[in-house]
Chain A
């Protein structure tokens, strides 16, 4: 089987990888590029742990072939923090104890970041529906919702 040469951009950095035709973007991020912040949960698009952005759109990286990332811009959890520290969402997840085991957290933060970029002041219902594709077995979700609301408030003050 011949490997495919894929040229893409991950968190603003140009990357070139060789991948199998049916290899997922998730596997290439983790196994070829060493970006293990993106987690594998279900691999069927149900849990959202592998959430990344593809040309700015929120997707499950398990349901994207690495080959489909050719010429695209991929955004992962590793690109969320600022050079001088954590992103507000990351800080608020810590402050609100919006995680326990942490496996779902990168996906939640990547997804919430896209939401706040599109809608800086979402109500609770909007947040819950937007994040309905991210599953968490530890927190019961309330702390996650509060962390996102608090992050939205702080980002609004910064703006």
Chain B
């Protein structure tokens, strides 16, 4: 068993080489962004010493760009900084709300969307919100970079496809077109700082007459990984996203959910609530897209 060590590489090349050289020495590595999950887990469930590789001093992970076609959110940017960016909030209100739901003011000062994704909890609030806006993970590997859709990134409870010699640099998101909007809602028993019992994200585009031309619906905390519910999307496309359409999408979400019963909710309760959240988030996304 190795010792604890800390490295703060200042370039991507250096970071990748730290990961590689530590692995060659038989030393475990752990990427550190905001640390709000990593440090807690390191002191409780998994105390094995490791080299912490802080990615907050790398240019790529701190990049936040809003281009004509694409938005890039670096993996080291704390939620508080995203929430202070009015342009980003205007373009992706659902995603930023999802990030803003995670933890207290203090946690927001450190926690990152990239970290939430890499923690890969079934209840991670940003994951459904990322899936509905078609976010893609930009991953640096020793041989270059690769891209993986967020929906394919998380492979199980706490598991994802990031290899130990790779770094998530950030999320690439197509810039939403006119008459497009997203929304994310979750249910918790209190108003602040809890883990989702269920969550639902909706992103949709309307035509000039208010008819939905495309929709993506994803649900969280009701299966081992986030679920993109295509039947719910289909229930919205071609409609004015009225009550009937939203009820059909809601039913599709309840059907697609396969939750567990635990201290936060039962199977029956979660299936019902995720449908309600889809309906409400769909209404919010519709109103945003038509305003």
- Give the distance in Å from the alpha carbon of A59 to the alpha carbon of B103 in the complex: 11
Q: A65-B39, A68-B54, A132-B104 are in contact. Are A20 and B4 (CB under 8 A)?
A: yes
CB nearest neighbor in B for A133: B104
Within 92-144 of B, Cβ neighbours of A (below 8 Å) are at 103-107, 109-110
B193 — which chain A residues lie within 8 A by C-beta?
Answer: 46, 132-133
CB nearest neighbor in A for B78: A57
Contact B42 A133 (CB under 8 A): no
- Give the distance in Å from the alpha carbon of A118 to the alpha carbon of B5 in the complex: 36
Q: Which of A62, A63, A65, A129 contacts B192 (CB 8 A)?
A: A129
Contact B106 A133 (CB under 8 A): yes
Q: What size tier do the contact residues of chain B reach? A: 20 to 34
Q: Which of B5, B56, B80, B103 contacts A21 (CB 8 A)?
A: B5
B34 — which chain A residues lie within 8 A by C-beta?
Answer: 63
CB distance from B49 to the nearest CB of A (A): 8
CB distance from A55 to the nearest CB of B (A): 10
Q: Which of A1, A60, A65 contacts B106 (CB 8 A)?
A: A60
Max chain B C-beta neighbours (<10 A), residue from A45, A58, A62: A45
The reply on B179 being an interface residue by CB < 8 A is: no
CB nearest neighbor in A for B34: A63
Q: Which of A22, A24, A62, A70 contacts B4 (CB 8 A)?
A: A22
Q: Which of A20, A43, A59 contacts B110 (CB 8 A)?
A: A59
CB nearest neighbor in B for A52: B106
Contact B36 A45 (CB under 8 A): yes
Interface size on A, residues (CB 8 A): 33
Q: A1-45 vs B: 1/0 string, CB under 8 Å?
A: 110100000000000000011101000000000000000000111
Q: A20-B4, A21-B4, A57-B78 are in contact. Are A133 and B103 (CB under 8 A)?
A: yes
Max chain A C-beta neighbours (<10 A), residue from B56, B80, B105, B107: B105
The reply on B3 being an interface residue by CB < 8 A is: yes
A62 — which chain B residues lie within 8 A by C-beta?
Answer: 39
CB distance from A117 to the nearest CB of B (A): 13
A134 — which chain B residues lie within 8 A by C-beta?
Answer: 104
Q: Which of A24, A57, A70 contacts B80 (CB 8 A)?
A: A57
The reply on B234 being an interface residue by CB < 8 A is: no
B51 — which chain A residues lie within 8 A by C-beta?
Answer: 21
Q: Which of B4, B35, B105 contacts A130 (CB 8 A)?
A: B105
The reply on B43 being an interface residue by CB < 8 A is: yes
Within 3-61 of B, Cβ neighbours of A (below 8 Å) are at 3-6, 8, 32, 34-36, 39-40, 42-44, 49, 51-52, 54, 56
A2 — which chain B residues lie within 8 A by C-beta?
Answer: 5
A57 — which chain B residues lie within 8 A by C-beta?
Answer: 78, 80, 109
Contact B106 A48 (CB under 8 A): yes
Q: A22-B6, A45-B40 are in contact. Are A54 and B109 (CB under 8 A)?
A: yes
Chain A positions near chain B (C-beta within 8 angstroms):
1-2, 4, 20-22, 24, 43-46, 48, 51, 54, 57-60, 62-65, 67-68, 70, 111, 114, 129-134
Chain B positions near chain A (C-beta within 8 angstroms):
3-6, 8, 32, 34-36, 39-40, 42-44, 49, 51-52, 54, 56, 78, 80, 103-107, 109-110, 192-193
Known: A63-B36, A63-B110. 14 other contacts (CB 8 A): A4-B6, A22-B42, A45-B40, A48-B106, A54-B109, A57-B78, A58-B106, A60-B106, A60-B110, A65-B52, A67-B6, A67-B8, A68-B54, A68-B56
Q: List 5 A-B contacts (CB under 8 A).
A: A60-B110, A63-B35, A68-B56, A70-B8, A132-B104
